[in-house]
Each structure stands twice: as C-alpha cells, then as structure tokens.
C-alpha cells in the first residue's frame, strides 16, 4: 500500500462463518504494526486478539498518548507521570517474556489538536516506528489501528495493508477531542483497506459511502475465568451474602446513582466494585455495604469474580454506551455468573441468558430474580455461551477479514 492517493481502497468481502478448529484460518509469517493502548496495562480486545497471533507472526506494538488533553485531576497527573516514565526509557525493544512482540514508545506530546504539535508528533512517530520496523527487517507490514490518532501516520510506514479496528465511538468519550477525533476517523474510514467494528451500532455510525464496516464482536478468555481454582480473596469472602459484583474501570459511563440506589434499597446486600476509579467515588465509599477493593491484576480477576453471586453491568445509557460491546458480559458468563445489565443493543443479543433492566427498581427486581433462579445447570449454560465466543475464534475471524482483502497477499504472492 503506502500511497493514500490510490484510486480505490480494497473492499474485503465478508467471509462466511468460521468452521473447524480454532486457529485453522489464522495468518502466519506476517509482520504487524499495531497502534493501540499500552500493552499489559489492561486486557483490551486488541491485546486479546494479538496474543493469539503472536505464535506465528511478528508484532511491533506502538504505544500512543490518549485522545483527550490532560487536566489537573489526580488521575490525569498519575497517567501523565506514567507516560513520562515510559518516554524516558528506550523508544523500542522486545517485550519481556513475550516472544515475537516488540514495544515502541515514540516521543509524543499532548494537545494534538494543535497543528504544530500534531506535526511534531508525526515526525517523531514515523521516524521511531520506521526505524524499529527497519531494524526488525519487517516486510510489507500490515498496519492495524485501534487508536484514531494514528490516522496521521497512514501511508508513511511502508504498510501493504491498513486496518481500522473500531472498538468504541471515540467521539463520545467524556472530555475527548471530539472534532479532532472525528477528522481522524474520517481519514481512517475512507482510506483504510479494511474497517471492522465491535458493535452493530458502531457499524451504522461508521458507514461511509455505502461501505459498511465488518462486524467483529468481542470474545472471552474462557479458560482464564472458568478454570480458576484460586481461593476467593478475603476482602470478598468475608462479606455478607449475597455479593453483587462489578469488575472493570469505574469511569463516567458507570451509573453511580444506580449503584447507590441499589445499595441503599438493599442494605443486607454487599455491593462490590473491583477496578480503578477515574471518577469521584466518595459517595459510594460512604455507604456501609459498598466495597471498593481497587484495581487488581487481570490474573487475579477470576478469583474475585468467584465470590460474586450476580454480575452487574450498570452503565449509563447515552450516545457512547449504545455502541459499547461490554467485554465483561462474556467474562461473567465464563464464570457461570447470572448477569443484570443496562439495556444496551449488544447485550440484547444474549437476552435469553441475561436480565436487562432500565432503572433502580428494575435492577433490584432483576437481581432478585437471578438470586432465586440460579442453578448449576444455568451456570453451565452460561459457560457454554462463553465457550462459543473464544478470543481464538475472534482472532481467526479477524484474519479471515484481512485475507479477504484483495491487497492482502503475503510478500512474494502478489
């Protein structure tokens, strides 16, 4: 690829549903340059997919800055310190204990809505990434973009094929650089060879000129959650039952009013929120039956979930969340947990296995239904749903979409 001025982008056909063993249709022997979140910081869908591609391919993972300008909040100051520490280290190097993965940390400045800073970032990123790819002797790499700000580097990295993997409606993120992100996305949607979206609403929103993004729903690491035999941590096991739990980032799209309403209405229930908070949660801490253990490593998450009686997805319904495909739904299923969720389109696909609620009273009634109706048979049914959506199968479908693009032939084939 490399030239953004080509007459027409490659239009991949939608492949049929995958059959056979997982991994059978997977690409091998290819070089990938991936712009996404920070590797290992939290288990994103992009990381899950590429963990399944690393055994047969080489990946240069480029860590970028966020999609909004930093503020003086405690959370932003901590994140800024993390990024500064990252930038003071090596710009590129092999990931520890992860074969075939190299991490690139190009120097970047925030405030990328300022033209001069965008230009400086482009010079820095292109120079750093090209140098790293050259040192690794990458050949006709596939460029995968999961962070819209990487639109500025399309065509400058020697890629044979470009992919936009759209996992959220980034223009709706709280505090995000909405106009700049919209401009970046227009570039990606019109110029990338392959465009995928993780939710049907996202496909509709990101359709351009009759070109509908391909649908790639999320998966789950079934064994990680289902096979856990670690004891439930004491901070959970010591609580009065039932334990109504949530794990994930406590962000602006989590409905704190709803959680507080549930806690006040059922003081005998233990409400547990496991994860980092980037919003003020002091009003929840003030409630005696709400417990916030904080962030825990992904490796320990299943042991915490084992102590839940019901899993919650208590999201605010807005323009952002109607296009969200919540990773935790299938993770709860892999734990066998009954689930009560806000009414999001991607959750409705599993309406036979999840209770959907729209307000505090609805959540209370749905949780009580789950507590009364749960059984070992129903837990096995939920686990089976999770098994049908493994990340290995998602990685296969990801590769099948790339392989279907006319310009995706391996080096030497075309």
Which residues in the chain come in under a pLDDT of 50?
1-21, 24, 72, 77, 80, 414
Read off the tokens for 310.
């019901």
Domains in the chain: ranges and CATH: 31-219+391-403 (3.40.50.11010), 224-387 (3.40.50.2000)
DSSP code per residue over 323-356: G---HHHHHHHHTT--EEEE--HHHHTTTTTSEE
Q: What does the alpha-carbon distance between residue 256 and residue 239 come to, in Å, rounded to a whole number?
A: 21
pLDDT of residue 389: 94
pTM of the full predicted structure? 0.87
List, in sequence order, every residue forming a beta bridge with 33; answer none if it has no partner.
Answer: 60, 143
The count of residues in the chain is 414
The pLDDT value recorded for residue 91 is 56
pLDDT given at position 1: 35
Q: Which residues pair with 294 in a beta bridge?
A: 274
Cβ distance 109 to 121 under 8 Å?
Answer: yes
3-state secondary structure of 263: helix
| pLDDT, position 7 | 28
pLDDT value for 109? 84
Whether residue 242 has a cis bond before it, omega within 30° of 0: yes
Instruction: Note the pLDDT of residue 174.
Output: 82
pLDDT value at residue 141: 97
**pLDDT at residue 210 in the model:** 85
Assign 56 to helix, strand or coil.
coil
């Amino acid at each position: 690829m490399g030239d953004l001025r080509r007459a027409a982008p490659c239009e991949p056909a939608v492949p049929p549903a995958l059959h056979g063993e997982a991994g059978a249709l997977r690409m091998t022997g290819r070089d990938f340059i991936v712009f996404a979140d920070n590797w290992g910081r939290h288990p994103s869908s992009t990381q899950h997919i590429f963990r399944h591609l690393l055994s047969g391919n080489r990946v240069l993972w480029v860590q970028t800055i966020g999609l909004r300008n930093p503020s003086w909040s405690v959370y932003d100051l901590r994140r800024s310190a993390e990024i500064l520490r990252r930038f003071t280290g090596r710009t590129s190097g092999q990931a520890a204990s992860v074969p075939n993965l190299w991490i690139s940390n190009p120097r970047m400045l925030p405030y990328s809505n300022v033209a001069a800073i965008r230009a400086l970032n482009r010079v820095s990123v292109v120079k750093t990434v090209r140098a790293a790819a050259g040192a690794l002797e990458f050949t006709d790499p596939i460029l995968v973009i999961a962070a819209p700000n990487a639109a500025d580097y399309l065509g400058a990295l020697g890629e044979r094929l470009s992919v936009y993997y759209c996992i959220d409606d980034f223009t709706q993120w709280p505090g995000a650089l909405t106009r700049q992100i919209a401009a970046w996305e227009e570039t990606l949607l019109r110029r990338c060879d392959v465009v995928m979206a993780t939710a049907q609403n996202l496909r509709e929103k990101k359709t351009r000129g009759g070109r509908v993004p391909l649908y790639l729903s999320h998966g789950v690491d079934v064994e990680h959650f289902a096979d856990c035999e670690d004891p439930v941590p004491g901070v959970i096991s010591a609580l009065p039952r039932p334990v109504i739990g949530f794990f994930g980032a406590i962000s602006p799209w989590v409905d704190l009013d709803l959680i507080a309403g549930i806690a006040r209405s059922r003081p005998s229930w233990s409400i547990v929120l496991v994860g980092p908070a980037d919003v003020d949660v002091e009003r929840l801490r003030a409630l005696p039956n709400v417990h916030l253990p904080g962030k825990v490593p992904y490796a320990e998450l299943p042991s915490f979930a084992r102590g839940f009686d019901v899993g919650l997805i208590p999201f605010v319904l807005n323009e952002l969340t109607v296009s969200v495909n919540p990773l935790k739904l299938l993770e709860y299923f892999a734990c066998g947990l009954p689930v009560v969720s806000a009414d999001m389109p991607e959750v409705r696909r599993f309406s036979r296995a999840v209770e959907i609620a729209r307000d505090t009273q609805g959540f209370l009634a749905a949780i009580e239904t789950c507590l009364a109706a749960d059984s070992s048979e129903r837990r096995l049914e939920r686990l089976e749903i999770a098994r049908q959506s493994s990340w290995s199968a998602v990685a296969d479908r990801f590769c099948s979409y790339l392989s279907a693009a006319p310009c995706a032939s391996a080096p030497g084939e075309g």
